[in-house]
Structure 1
Amino acid sequence: YQASLFLGQAGLAEEAEASRSEAFRCVRLAVEKGVELAARPVRAALPEPKWREVRVEAPPRIDFGGGWSDTPPFCFDWGGTVLNAALELNGEYPIRAVIRVLDEPVVRCAADGAVTQYRSREEVMAPPSPGCPFAIHRVALQMLGVPECGLEISTEVALPMGSGLGTSSILAATVLRGLSELYGLSLDAGELSDQVMCLEQRMTTGGGWQDQAGGIFPGVKLITSGPGLHQRLRVQPIGWSSERQAEFSSRFVLHYTGIRRIAKGLLTQVVGRYLAREVATIQVLHSIKTLAVEMAYAMREGEWDHLGRLMRRHWELNQILDPHTTNAPINRLLHELDPYLAGAKLAGAGGGGFLMLVARSPEAAAAMKLHLSRAAGKSYEFRIATGGLRVHTLLE
């Protein structure tokens, strides 16, 4: 990657792009090397299905601290630390996949109303075109194997695109989990997280492990990994009481801003800055790991004002990584809400999506909700999800 910077300064644009692409290819190969199942040969055909239909539902995640530290190659060098939570939104798990056996020998893919079908293994195995709505479906089959019987993979995300709630990664987890359940393939939670990271690298969207881990593992938890190509996740629930959780829920507000942003371009920029060994980027990535640990302590002890201060600091560090993390409408809304706020940050990569708001008191939270009811976007009712992925199977 550093060679690409030198070549670019020399005016050799084509050579610089080739060098840059090779750097990201090396990251992708490192991810695949670290995933146990990725080293297995692709199956010519999957075994006979155990079920006629498998439905998988998943919660989205919100990330309080440490997001970006889970992203390769930083996590390969230093390990990652993330504090996040799985949520029910408006009383449901909004990320869903249905895998169904068909009598007709085709692979049919459906995603949010769009439908297509493939009649040969070669069609399924071909690289998806950029922006293909069925990329997750096809790459999942490329990784686990193309079935000989007919198959339908249908997915739905009942959330806005670019929400910042990790929906793409978690949707990939539901598809991989559904396929493994349908065909009786062994895939535990850690392996599932690994497979999603591998899938996203193959799709060229990149990404780390915190999005899918946030939905796969229930509740509020501190997730850590050590250095190395195989990212072994250690999941530690924060261990708060029901009273402490109720205190949090009375102060926390989740609001969709109505602004969308896709993380792929931003992720490439941040990874590129790390590969270039920019000092500020490296310092921020280490700092947000520490903030995630401090946030977990604050939540466990009910130190809500301190949690708010830590979120404010994290928000500042996110803007060092990328100044476009925020924008004028978001800054204006945060300024209006400041009298009620202990702290706030955008979920995910920022630039839009959902705002995570911690109020100074339950009364301030109520006043903030009233203010937001007159603002753009929509506030969501939430509950901490306690069950991880939900899997339903049908024989007929």
Structure 2
Amino acid sequence: MSLLVQTLSIREQQSILDAVECIEAGALQIAFVVDESMRLLGVVTNGDVRRHLLQGGRTDEAVTACMNQEFRSVRIGAPREDLLKAFDLGHNALPGLDEQGRLVEVYTRQMAASAEVPVLARARAPVRMSFCGGGADLTYFFIDHSAAVLSCTVGLYAHATLIPRDDGRISIYAEDLSREEHYSSLAELLAAPEKSLLATIVAVIKPKYGFDLYLRSDFPVGSGLGGSSAATTATIAVFNELRQDRWNTYEIAELAFQAERLCFGIAGGWQDQYASAFGGFNLIEFENQRNLVHPIRLEDSIRNELESCLVLCDTGISHDSGRLHELQREEIEAELSQTELLSASVTLCRRMHHFLIRGELKAFGTCLDEAWQLKKRFSSAISDGRLDEIYAAALAAGACGGKLLGAGGGGFFLFYVQPQHRQRVVSAVAALGCQTQNFRFESSGVTSWRTKIQ
């Protein structure tokens, strides 16, 4: 029972004089008549008392003799909108009743704003689809050579949820891996000799509060879509949502690279983190001194046509991108011609960028085949007999070109197919045990928001 209810309520057996004293004691100039169980029976104002006395009533009579039973009330917890409308119609005080009609609260025009309640943060980061330039985004290449990668993001996401705790404990749930980690404090997590990727991200961020962290994904592990980078980016973004001085998009991408590549030790380049953080179609340039993300504005007709002509094909073969990048690095260091291959890939990337922005999509699709032929020469581990068979079947069925996404060795093929040949290509790869997956381009990068804890 609120203090206002105690001040303004009187019992039904009390007198009219008691009601007058109650009314005059409060600024609202009203009294609420209740029974022993606090059920509201009526309201009394100075006007009600005056009318009763003018009709010959006495002040020592029970207050029920002059109370108004036709009163306006609201249910406890009524929406603020309803209260504001009632006050705007002239009411100064509204009794708030529970389901049994008992007086629980008195609402006034000076009612306080709703109290602050705990919040949780959520974020989602899209995966990337790399068209050309992969491998050139490795530091040991672009430290001495100009590099560029052409990519976009699609509507498959890593989803993160962060629920702060008051006790300092940390719980991490990787739903796709059915893995849980529990730590009594951040200090215990930092001292752990071996950490998962999510725990490594936390170790980089070092939040000063306990929390429950949940991560799930729309894509399989080892898909070649940059899934680990999307997961890392979403996790960083969900912590960023609760910061007062938020990191910008470049900083999010750089933290993701630090956590995934340097601290956790997954070998690879820089493009995945930038693509997932920024989203949309981008030409990403890598240099010794700086990395730059150049957003590509496509006409709707070009974007829609490209989306209609691309087929995403799951080979069903998982891959280890980190190990493939290690092998590629070893072979590049051992053979100078690999550097020439990467430079050729960068040149092709810029050609594809030209075809894309001009809407010359048939030429763009043919360049995918060139990109794949170059990519296979980076390392002997990138393709094998089964992958070559899948690719050959798609081309024989009508695909103009295609490439394996990611570092290679498995994951998803991306084929450029004119829509009239799409079903033949889908059937051809299905005969080899592959599944195609529908997708839509995603123009936004990592997105975070907060909501009340229900």
Aligned to 1:9: none
Q: Tell me how far apart the structure 1 counterparts of residues 430 and 376 of structure 2 sit (CA, whole Å).
A: 27
CA deviation string 1:120-148 (max 9, x = no partner): 3332113552xx5xx2222222222142x
Secondary structure of residue in 1 paired with 2:124: strand
For the pair 1:188 / 2:248, whether they are aligned, the reply is: yes
Query: 2:189 maps to what in 1?
Result: 124
Contact 2:376–2:382 under 8 Å retained in 1: yes
Quick one: which of 291, 294, 309 aligns to 1:232? Answer: 291
Structure 1 pair 291–127 and aligned structure 2 pair: CA distance change class (3 A): farther
TM-score by length of 2: 0.70
Q: Secondary structure at the match of 1:382?
A: coil
CA distance in 1, matches of 2:134, 2:253: 15
Are 2:403 and 2:414, in contact at CA under 8 Å, matched by a contact in 1? yes
Matched, 1:323 2:384: no
Deviation string for 1:268-322 (max 9, x for gaps)? Answer: 1222344x36311111111111111111111222323322332112111111111
Conservation of the 8 A alpha-carbon contact between 1:255 and 1:380: yes
- Kindly report which structure 2 residues correspond to 1:259-274, keeping only aligned pairs within 5 A, or say none: 259-274=317-332
Question: Conserved in 1, the CA contact under 8 Å of 2:280 and 2:295?
Answer: no
Does residue 179 (structure 1) correspond to residue 239 (structure 2)? The answer is: yes
The superposition leaves residues 255-279 of structure 1 with CA deviations (integer Å, 9 ceiling, x where unpaired) of: 11101111111111222344x3631
Matched, 1:207 2:260: no
Number of residue pairs matched by the alignment: 333
Higher helix content, 1 or 2: 1
Aligned equivalent of 1:95: 158
Taking structure 1 as reference, are residues 369 and 51 closer, same or farther at Cα in structure 2, changes over 3 Å only?
farther
How far apart are 1:168 and its partner, in Å?
A: 0.3
**1:147-162 paired onto structure 2 within 5 Å:** 147=208, 149-162=209-222
Residue 229 (structure 2) aligned to one of 125, 145, 169: 169
Is 1:81 matched with 2:148? Answer: yes
Following superposition, the deviation at residue 193 of structure 1 comes to 1.1
The verdict on how the C-alpha distance between 1:310 and 1:51 changes in structure 2, with shifts beyond 3 A counting, is farther
CA 1:316–1:295 in 2, change beyond 3 Å: closer, same or farther?
same
Tell me: CA distance 1:384–1:325, structure 2 relative to 1, closer, same or farther (3 Å): same
- How far residue 221 of structure 1 moved from its aligned partner, in angstroms, is 1.6
Aligned amino acid, residue 164 of structure 1 = G
Distance 2:389 2:197 in 1: 36
Q: Percent identity?
A: 23
Q: Which residue of 2 aligns with 1:245?
A: 303
Aligned-partner Cα distance in 1 for 2:394–2:210:
53
- 2 CA distance for matches of 1:165 and 1:242? 24
CA distance in structure 2 between the partners assigned to 1:343 and 1:127 by the alignment:
47
Match for residue 111 of structure 1? 174
Alignment check: 8 A CA contact 1:99 1:182 kept: no
Structure-2 change in CA distance of 1:354 and 1:51 (3 Å): farther
Query: Contact 2:268–2:321 (CA<8 Å) still a contact in 1?
Result: no
* Structure 1 segments of 4+ aligned residues over 6 angstroms from their partners: none
Deviates most, 374-383 or 315-324: 374-383
Q: Which amino acid aligns with 1:265?
A: R
Q: Which of 116, 130, 134 is the equivalent residue of 1:67? A: 134
The residue aligned with 1:296 is 353
Name the stretch that deviates more: 78-87 or 180-189.
Answer: 180-189
Cα 1:333/1:245, change in 2 over 3 Å: same
Task: Identify the match of residue 305 of structure 1 among 339, 362, 365.
Answer: 362
Question: Secondary structure of 2:153's partner?
Answer: strand
Matched residue, 1:394:
451
SS at match of 1:323: coil
Which shows bigger deviation, 120-129 or 152-161? 120-129
Larger Rg: 2
Range 79-88 or range 178-187, more displaced: 178-187
Partner of 1:216: 277
CA-to-aligned-CA distance 1:353-388 (integer Å, 9 cap, x gap): 0000001x2201232123334441321111110121
Q: Once the 2 structures are TM-superposed, how far is the Cα of residue 87 of structure 1 from its aligned partner? A: 0.3
CA displacement at 1:154 relative to structure 2: 1.2
Q: Are the aligned partners of 2:185 and 2:210 in contact in 1 as well (CA < 8 Å)?
A: no
How many Å separate the matches in 1 of 2:319 and 2:281? Answer: 25
Letter in 2 for 1:236: P
Q: Which has the higher contact order (CA 8 A, sep 6+)?
A: 1
Q: Distance in 2 between matches of 1:207 and 1:184?
A: 32
Unaligned residue ranges in structure 2 (runs of 5+): 1-116
Contact 2:126 2:442 in 1 (8 A): yes
- The residue type equivalent to 1:246 in the other structure is N
Give the Å deviation of 1:51: 6.4
Instruction: Specify whether residues 338 and 128 from structure 1 end up closer, same or farther in structure 2 by C-alpha distance, changes over 3 A only.
Output: farther
Contact 1:128–1:138 (Cα < 8 Å) also in 2 = no
Q: Which amino acid aligns with 1:215?
A: S
Q: Distance in 2 between matches of 1:86 and 1:377?
A: 22
- Alignment equivalent of 2:312, drawn from 241, 254, 270: 254
What's the CA shift for 1:84?
Answer: 0.5
Change (3 A) 1:78 1:391: same
1:52–1:128 Cα change, 3 Å: farther
For normalisation by structure 1, the TM-score amounts to 0.79
